């Protein structure tokens, strides 16, 4: 158990819908990272927040957005969902802003778009 | 566009064998290369490499980076069935673009 929690565990929804994935980082960690993992694209970095501010941005679609709240939990919002958005979404956290080597991954949320 | 390529994509060996996994990268302003192990769930961090030629070691696993030839290898000696996993390589350009991951090597260790 990494100490990072993600809810929900599984999510099934229809195309065109909007969903929110939630992540609570480890106690004391200020950075939250979001990743998408699909069979064809592999693991892709989406976005990083550090202490409430966006820090790094990867291959995140415009239909997706994220934020980090004052209590440091983060939410990833996915809208106008398409079949291709079906994937495993991971959240990770670290203490520092550049903590690529010390990030701890949550168990993931499996999103299925029908 | 930053790119990380891993090979082989899949590898099946017998317990006790030694394996070498490869990772090549093309990343603007390269800063670090990272290796992760992913079993059934989330990836777990193995190594971060920033300097050429300095081997990092953890038990039966070791890794080295060649910044001139733009590649890294991950070695696993005396493999065990518990080493079966997907091994992911990722490169960081030091900027605000985050990590670029390879597709992974799926390693299967047969008893």
Report how far residue A1's alpha carbon sits from residue B22's, in angstroms, rounded to the nearest whole number.
29
pLDDT of residue A20: 97
* Range B57-81 average pLDDT: 96
Q: Which percentage of chain B shows pLDDT scores above 70? A: 100
Higher pLDDT, B7 or A1: B7
Q: Which residues of B touch A2 (CB under 8 A)?
A: 42
B97 and A58: CB-CB below 8 Å? Answer: yes
* Range B38-67 average pLDDT: 92
**pLDDT of residue B51 exceeding 90:** no
Q: What is the mean pLDDT of chain A?
A: 93
Q: Which of A101, A104, A106 to mutate: most B Cβ within 10 Å? A: A101
pLDDT of residue A11: 95
Please provide the DSSP assignment of A45-105 as one string: EEEEEETTEEEEE-S--TTEEEEE-TTS-EEEEE-S--GGG-EEEEEEEESSTT-TTS-EE
**pLDDT of residue B96 exceeding 80:** no
* Range B73-77 average pLDDT: 97
A100 and B48: CB-CB below 8 Å? Answer: yes
Write the pLDDT tens digit of every residue in A46-71: 999 999 999 999 889 999 999 999 99
B32 and A101: CB-CB below 8 Å? Answer: yes
């Amino acid at each position: 158990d990494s100490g990072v929690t993600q809810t929900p565990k599984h999510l099934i929804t229809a195309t065109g819908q909007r969903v929110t994935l939630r992540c609570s980082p480890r106690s004391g960690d200020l950075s939250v990272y979001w990743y998408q993992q699909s069979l064809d694209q592999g693991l892709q970095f989406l976005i990083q927040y550090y202490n409430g501010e966006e820090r790094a941005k990867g291959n995140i679609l415009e239909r997706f957005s994220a934020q980090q709240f004052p209590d440091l939990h983060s939410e990833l919002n996915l809208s106008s969902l398409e079949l291709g958005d079906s994937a495993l979404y991971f959240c990770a956290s670290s203490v520092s802003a550049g903590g690529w080597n010390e990030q701890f991954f949550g168990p993931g949320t499996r999103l299925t778009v029908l | 566009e930053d790119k990380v390529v891993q090979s082989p994509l899949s590898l099946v060996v017998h317990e006790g064998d030694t394996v070498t996994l490869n990772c090549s990268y093309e990343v603007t302003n390269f800063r670090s290369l990272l290796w992760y192990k992913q079993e059934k769930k989330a990836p777990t961090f193995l190594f971060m490499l920033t300097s050429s030629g300095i081997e990092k070691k953890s038990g039966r696993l070791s890794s080295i980076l060649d910044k001139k030839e733009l590649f890294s290898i991950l070695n696993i000696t005396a493999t065990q069935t518990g080493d079966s996993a997907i091994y992911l390589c990722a490169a960081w350009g030091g900027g605000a673009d985050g990590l670029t991951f390879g597709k992974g090597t799926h390693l299967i260790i047969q008893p």
